[in-house]
Structure 1
Amino acid sequence: MSTIYTLKHAILSHSKSFFVLKNNKRAWHIPLLASLCVAIPLFIGLYFDNFPMALSASIGGLVILYYQPTISLGSRMLLLLICSFGFALSLVVGLIFSFNPYVSSVVLGFFAMGINWVTTYFKTKPPANFFFIMIAAMASFQPYHLALIPQKIGLLVLGSMLACFLALCHGLLTMNKVQTSDALSITIKKGDFVSVVDSSVIGVFIFISLLIGHFFEMQNPYWIPISCLAILQGVSRKHILERMVHRIAGTFIGIGFCWVILSFFDSPISICISIFILLYIAESLIIKNYALAIIFITPMTILLTEVGTSFAANTAVIIPARLLDITIGSILGGIGGWFLYHQRFKNNAIKQLRKTRVVIRKKF
């Protein structure tokens, strides 16, 4: 009886959290800036009738999500340039090793481990490791064409450059309106193997997610590692569970919303406008309520990642596939979160790493 009561209480608690909006002092023009950075390349691609290239550039525009308007203008531009380099590196790693699905899965697992360690070490603010690993995962499922790699990198860098330019314009326009700190604060997190264990868990589950997508030859299965990683962003075991429930439930609603959009707005111009509006709403909600934001993020990302294909004619195939991928990834993320915040597991792993370090020091 107590188990049923606990389960009922948990369901009610998660249901109520869908309608709770947190206080947020984020300026309205920050989500607008993010929407412009992603949408402008799409409109340019629409004008030149080349959506695939525009898609690569718009992905580069996502670097604007690392923009920090509370630090000095020089520091925020430096941060964006560093993240732009990270985006390009992530794309290179994903594309170069996409020639073999199993090699790619192993490399991306280690890459995710390394990126998480770096962002944790320097205490990088959210979205932290997310978009670096996301870009690498998406690139790993693209067909391997060595001659096209420089072109794809160039397009992504152009999108990042556009985002940096728009961020500079925003900084100059709001220079006297926003209170900022003097410089970029880089805080190094010092821990005894804690970040190594966390990074290893994330790397292993990204590897498993990629391997599942490759093994079952799913259509655009990069949604599995992306969803897994999104859940692993939780800061506690309870938060992990909450994000998993919210992502799956939000995805169900968002998928339905996407079907409605594709049923009534299937022209290229309407799709570009829909992406712009959905991203603005999602960025406005992401801090206030993650579950509500997912409802808009889901159709936005489906439209964005499928924009260069004939997805409008294959809605009956695309939507169930995305729903399956996101659900599998979310469940894997929930399992990974159990390891991330299981204290006994972490303590045993740290002890083993310490013993290994002592053995290595004695030998060398």
Structure 2
Amino acid sequence: MSTQPTPRDVSFVRSLFALNPSSRPYRYGLMVGICMAFPAFVGTLMGSFQQGLMAVMGSAIILYLPTSGIAQRMLTLAACTCGFAFCFFLGLWGSVHPLVSAAVLAVTAFLVSLVAGYFRIAPPGNFFFIMLAAIATVVPHEPAAIPERIGLLVMGSMATCLFAFVYSLLFPAPVAAVDLQPLSQNGIRTLVLHSALMGIFVGGGYWFAHGIGMHNPYWVPISCAAIMQGANLRMVWLRKIHRIAGTAVGMVLAFLLFKLIDGPWMLTAAIVILSFVIEMLIPRNYGYAVIFITPLTVIFAGVASHGLEMNELVFTRLLDISLGSVIGALGGVFAHWLVPRMTTVLKQRSARH
């Protein structure tokens, strides 16, 4: 039997390291870095860096800025602000018990996947909505503090809307006509099945991780959602390898980085730099971007760290993300193998009736 690698194998290996072309301007990456770091800067200035970090998560709406006219841009960001607040609220409410958290994550992942798929929201699609709900599930359950926490998140989003408005005035994009064709009946069936599997694996991943005793396993469902976003099986496996290998290298970077960083001001500067680099690398190579995503997620983990040291958070991320990537890869296989067959069966039954 021949052991020579096939052209498909060689192509897959090359795609692990290749840098894809990108037309994304550097000024956009710089704006993302500024938007993400501004709440942390204000929080540091006021002596409340922890609250600033919570507002930073709301600033992630900038990643949904479409390449369209200013009216469409602001409408999109306003809708994302409402979606972020709702998902964060669900996660905070569900933090009362791990089983409730798993159920809340399953429902949230299903709903946001359904909405993102129906309106064809471009990447990152459903990802940050699920991420917010997952992080909120491990924030200490304090009902009286829920309005304040949601307020901080919304304030971060509102500040980002202001920055995006100024950016759109300085660098206007051509106004494109929005022609959103309705999904066919078969397309709706496929979307519902995909969304249901996303909910099952995201919620199930959280429940499984908690069941085996993992501490604050919110990055398991987050990684699961990231892997299942792959458009096909090749992309699912590619993202799995990128996610695990990039996290391993990123752990080393994070460990060295936090040995040098001292205090909230340097953390704020790190958020700017890391956000800029990630935004420039995401369209070029997901694996390289994950290397820099890892230390940034460790900073965000301060929202739900419960007093853990940064070094401890760095090392727990690898196990969380590895498990989430495996579960996500399994979910991706189910989605791309089972959904087409189930869609065909439902279509045939509908035709008979």
With normalisation by structure 2, the TM-score equals 0.92
Distance in 2, matches of 1:155 and 1:8, equals: 51
Alignment partner of 1:65: what SS?
Answer: helix
Counterparts in 2 of 1:277 and 1:148: CA distance versus 1, 3 Å? same
Task: Indicate if the aligned counterparts of 2:50 and 2:302 stay in contact, CA closer than 8 A.
Answer: no
Equivalent residue number for residue 341 of structure 1: 336
1:85 to 77, 82, 89: 82
- Structure 1 distance, partners of 2:39, 2:120, is 31
Residue 201 (structure 1) aligns with: 197
Write the letter of the residue equivalent to 1:196. Answer: V
Aligned with residue 38 of structure 2, among 32, 40, 61: 40
Quote the Cα distance in structure 2 between the aligned partners of 1:59 and 1:114.
20
What is the one-letter code of the residue matched to 1:49? G
Cα distance in 1, alignment partners of residues 39 and 6 from structure 2: 47
Q: 1:18 to 1:348 in 2, by over 3 A?
A: closer
2:137 aligned residue:
140
2:119 alignment partner, one of 99, 119, 122: 122
Q: How does 1:1-364 map to 2 (within 5 A)?
A: 1-2=1-2, 5-6=4-5, 10=9, 13-68=11-66, 70-175=67-172, 178=173, 180-192=174-186, 193-306=189-302, 313-315=309-311, 317-342=312-337, 345-350=338-343, 353=346
What secondary structure does 1:321 align onto? helix
Change (3 A) 1:15 1:311: farther
- Listed one character per residue, the Cα deviations across residues 37-76 of structure 1 (whole Å, up to 9, x for unaligned) are 11011111111111221111100000000001x2111111
Which AA in structure 2 matches 1:341? H
Q: Determine if contact 1:71/1:184 at 8 Å carries over to the other structure.
A: no
Deviations 1:138-161 (A, max 9, x none): 111222111111111111110000
**CA shift for structure 1 position 358:** 9.4
Work out whether residues 59 and 156 of structure 1, in 8 Å CA contact, stay in contact via their aligned partners in 2. Answer: yes
CA gap 1:26/1:146 in 2 versus in 1, 3 angstroms: same
**1:148 to 1:218, Cα distance in 2 relative to 1, 3 A:** same
Q: Cα offset for 1:302?
A: 1.1
Partner of 2:17: helix, strand, or coil? coil
Share of identical aligned residues, percent? Answer: 36
Counterpart residue type for residue 227 of structure 2: I
> Which residue type is aligned with residue 134 of structure 1?
M
Equivalences, count: 351
Show structure 2 runs of 5+ residues with no match.
none
Shift of the alpha carbon at 1:219? 2.6
Between stretches 153-162 and 137-146, larger displacement belongs to 137-146
| CA distance in structure 2 between the partners assigned to 1:38 and 1:202 by the alignment | 27
1:310-360 deviations in whole A, cap 9, x for unaligned?
978451x22221110000001111111101111xx224423565688799x
Please tell me the residue identity of whatever aligns with 1:264: L
State the Cα deviation string for residues 67-89 of structure 1 (Å, max 9, x = none).
Answer: 01x21111110011011100011
Alpha-carbon distance between aligned partners in 1 of 2:147 and 2:323, rounded to the nearest angstrom: 33
Q: In 1, Cα distance between the equivalents of 2:101 and 2:304?
A: 24
Give SS of 2:327's match.
helix
Deviation at 1:221, TM superposition (A): 1.1
What CA distance in whole angstroms lies between the structure 2 residues aligned with 1:253 and 1:13? 23
Per mean C-alpha deviation after superposition, the further-off stretch among 207-216 and 163-172 is 207-216
**CA 184–55 in structure 1, closer or farther in 2 if over 3 Å, else same:** farther
CA shift for structure 1 position 196: 1.1
Provide the aligned C-alpha RMSD in A.
2.4
1:214, CA displacement in angstroms? 2.5
- Distance between the aligned counterparts of 1:111 and 1:190, measured in 2? 24
Deviation at 1:32, TM superposition (A): 1.1
